[in-house]
Structure 1
Amino acid sequence: MGLPARRPHAPAEGRARGQGGRVMAPFPKIHDLYVSRMVVMTVLLTWTVLVGLDVVNAMISEFGDVGKGNYGLLDAVTYIVYTIPRRAYTMFPTVAVIGALMALGQLAASSELTALRALGLSRRRLSLSVAAPLLVLTALMMVNGETLGPWGQRSADGMKTAAKSKDMAVAQFSGLWAREGDIFLNAQNGQEHADGKDTWLELDDVRLFEFADDGRLESIARVATAEHRKSGWLLRGVKRTYFEGNSVTQTEVMEEHWTSQLDAAALAASASNLWRPRYMSARDLRDGINYRKRNGLDASEFEEHYWGRWFYPLNVLALCLAAIPFAFGTLRSGGAGKRLFIGIVFALGFWLLQMQFVKLAGVYRFDYRIAYLMPPVVMLGVSAWLFRRRSG
């Protein structure tokens, strides 16, 4: 009596099928961890290289400011170090797609992807193995973009402003500070305006603290807006409180001219550093939007960057999923240069497409959410089409 015939081993996913033919394989398995580890290592290496190049380029640019005021070489290095978290956040979507393509290209070139497919792994399962670690890194970058990144950029700008000008300082929570003789200016918000060839600086929610020679506080003025024109400073909505001995008096005027030698160009540079929406957290952007809407100001720039924060993870996912199908065909041949080229083309194409949609939203005043949603939808559509084509 012979031995019973041995049943051939079923493919990896076939063994995991339960009743009804549904896949019951848990996630992750060894092959998932292997692919994920390869993706993470390649992404981290790519991240280090690209952020390093960005830091070197920024350092060269910072050397041009060394020697202005008390801004020295050590200050320039400190400034760059503070901005590294923000640079890592900004660079990550590009790093993710290039790193994923490099990792999958390496697996394809060594026929490891072919071996995994022979075990019964579907393209969807391999895509999940790639997307899972990228989602974890994306979550970390979102936390970084809301905490360490804005704090580091704000600290760097404040340190640089204070070093370059002894009469100005930028504080994270109290806004812009400047000194003009015995008067100290504090502005919570500000921006530059242009009308043809005429440009001017406008500061909002301004406080003017005037001190006597003996250090006594003489008056506090609350100013709705302060505009710096060629003729000088024009203060609008001025409410001033005078402190005289044991008495306090208050005055209120609609407009008042302020003769001051305060450097408006330096103030404008400091204001642009302090209130750059692209470097703010989502919470600060939301507060800025509410502030501008309450005061009848244009909030489009803040809305643009605010919704950009929310669509950040979708951008990363769409970029990587659209690039993954190339690993099953195009990346099997060719070296690292080809993979790098494809990754850069994908990243640049995506950002150019999104930039155009966002600019159109600003010009034609339609919802920024639509502008940010369209490019990921296009990329995910390309990914789905490429998957069907590769499967055919």
Structure 2
Amino acid sequence: MKILQRYFAVSISQAVAFVLLALLLLAAFMDLTGELPSVGKGEYGIQHAFLYVILMLPGNVYKLMPVAALIGTIYTMAQFASSSEFTIMRASSMSTRMAAAMVFKIGLVFVLITFAFGELVTPRTAPMAERLKLSAKGGAVSQEFRSGMWTKDVVHSDGLTGPVTGSRFFNVRQFRTDGQLLDVKLYEFDTSLRLRSLTTAKRASFQGKNTWQLEEVTETRFANSAEHAAPGGTFGQETSAVSTRTLPSLLVVSEITPKILSVSSSDPTRMSVNELAVYTRHLAESKQETERFKIAFWKKLIDPLAIFVLMALALPFAYMHQRSGGVSLKIFIGIMIGVGFMLINSLFSHLGLLSTWPALLTAIAPSALFMLLAIGALWWVERH
């Protein structure tokens, strides 16, 4: 069985490596095509586009490995069937359970490689690619909103500790790749969501220990306390309740760090499990929506395990004889299954977010569905 296991491992690994290389080249070509419109903006040249695409390749390995494992395994199983090798293996007392166990061991290697790319490589190369692109085009992080980047934290009575006294909204027009913030506005509210102060600054730099140094500061404070409230609970427009001061610099203690700001502008699919957990906890503590990042967290853990499911789904192709279709037809079927899995996986992510399904259920449902399909296919080929 050791010889047979080695034969399975070499054959499947070679096929998966070949398919993965082909898929990566296709993905790189599409990424490069998408970057061409940016070439010529600022100092962003064709060499930057090529380097950007290369740095994004580890993320494509993470996304494409399950499909490559499926197609490569189907190709190998179809080759075994066409040459009657699998029939000889079965005649030599190899059961379906033994074949599945050998495929599982090979799949374990692919799962570990995928986890390594998703957790160790991509979270480092993807930010490098973005920094390269941004520095060549001007050095500022572009945002979805015209008003810039928005994030929120909680204000405590003693810096980062003590009772919660309010909340603070950060608005940053530009977040530079060196960590400096430009055109900063801080909106601070009390626990009753009454505006307590508005602070604007030309620049802000992180000093460590959750401290930001604001420069060229204008601070406007609103005395929206109970004694300033008009009858009925509304607040009057008394100018004495508003005070403004201008400062050359001001230190602000906040839970927001450059890491959180960079993560908040990142694609969740390119973040590590640890980054997703930290940012999700920050969002939960500041009472913001966390569902999108919870789904990304569970998908990050479960998606590599889908390799086991897809390789199990490829095993029944070894039982299909030549009259059931040639190798090319089986590969085409495998491609359709892989594309279908990716589409269903993406569909469930959006449906789970819109329907507020539990994040774990949303992440695991596509793999569970295809696992049932694999079990049914194996049961059918065993019976026939």
Q: Find out whether 1:365 has 2:356 as its counterpart.
A: yes
1:235-274 matches, cutoff 5 A: 235-237=186-188, 238=198, 253=221, 274=265
Post-superposition offset of 1:374: 2.1
1:313-332 matches, cutoff 5 A: 313-329=304-320
Structure 2 counterpart SS, 1:226: strand
Confirm or deny: 8 A CA contact 1:157 1:273 kept in the other structure. no
The aligned amino acid for 2:378 is F
Q: 1:357 to 1:80 in 2, by over 3 A?
A: closer
Tell me how far apart the structure 1 counterparts of residues 4 and 109 of structure 2 sit (CA, whole Å): 18
Task: Point out where structure 1 has 5 or more consecutive residues left out of the alignment.
Answer: 1-27, 171-175, 177-190, 194-198, 207-221, 242-248, 257-269
Q: 1:383 to 1:223 in 2, by over 3 A?
A: closer
Identical residues among aligned pairs (%): 24
Tell me how far apart the structure 1 counterparts of residues 130 and 264 of structure 2 sit (CA, whole Å): 6
Which residue of 53, 57, 64 maps to 1:84?
57
Confirm or deny: 8 A CA contact 1:69 1:164 kept in the other structure. yes
Q: Find out whether 1:29 has 2:15 as its counterpart.
A: no
Tell me how far apart the structure 1 counterparts of residues 172 and 305 of structure 2 sit (CA, whole Å): 41
Confirm or deny: 8 A CA contact 1:109 1:333 kept in the other structure. no
Tell me how far apart the structure 2 counterparts of residues 139 and 115 of structure 1 sit (CA, whole Å): 31
Post-superposition offset of 1:357: 2.7
Confirm or deny: 8 A CA contact 2:123 2:272 kept in the other structure. yes
Tell me how far apart the structure 1 counterparts of residues 379 and 322 of structure 2 sit (CA, whole Å): 17
Q: Find out whether 1:277 has 2:250 as its counterpart.
A: no
The range that moved more, 62-71 or 333-342, is: 333-342
Post-superposition offset of 1:366: 2.1
Q: 1:344 to 1:43 in 2, by over 3 A?
A: same
Confirm or deny: 8 A CA contact 2:75 2:331 kept in the other structure. yes
Tell me how far apart the structure 1 counterparts of residues 322 and 123 of structure 2 sit (CA, whole Å): 38
Structure 2 counterpart SS, 1:366: coil
Tell me how far apart the structure 1 counterparts of residues 40 and 264 of structure 2 sit (CA, whole Å): 19
Spell out, residue by residue over 1:29-58, the C-alpha distance to the aligned partner (whole angstroms, 9 max, x if none): 101110111000000000111101111121
Q: If the length of structure 2 is used for normalisation, what is the TM-score?
A: 0.71
Q: 1:362 to 1:145 in 2, by over 3 A?
A: same
Which residue of 97, 102, 110 maps to 1:137?
110
The structure with higher relative contact order (CA 8 Å, sep 6+) is 2
Spell out, residue by residue over 1:62-100, the C-alpha distance to the aligned partner (whole angstroms, 9 max, x if none): 222111001111111111111111111111111110111
Structure 2 counterpart SS, 1:203: strand
Spell out, residue by residue over 1:310-343, the C-alpha distance to the aligned partner (whole angstroms, 9 max, x if none): 1123311112212311221266653332122111
Spell out, residue by residue over 1:162-203, the C-alpha distance to the aligned partner (whole angstroms, 9 max, x if none): 1001xx346xxxxx9xxxxxxxxxxxxxx646xxxxx75442
Tell me how far apart the structure 1 counterparts of residues 278 and 303 of structure 2 sit (CA, whole Å): 20
Tell me how far apart the structure 2 counterparts of residues 250 and 274 of structure 1 sit (CA, whole Å): 27
Runs of 4+ in 1 over 6 A off after TM superposition: 270-273
The aligned amino acid for 1:326 is F
Post-superposition offset of 1:239: 5.7
Confirm or deny: 8 A CA contact 2:170 2:184 kept in the other structure. no
Partner of 2:76: 103
Tell me how far apart the structure 2 counterparts of residues 317 and 47 of structure 1 sit (CA, whole Å): 16
Tell me how far apart the structure 1 counterparts of residues 287 and 219 of structure 2 sit (CA, whole Å): 25
Post-superposition offset of 1:111: 0.9
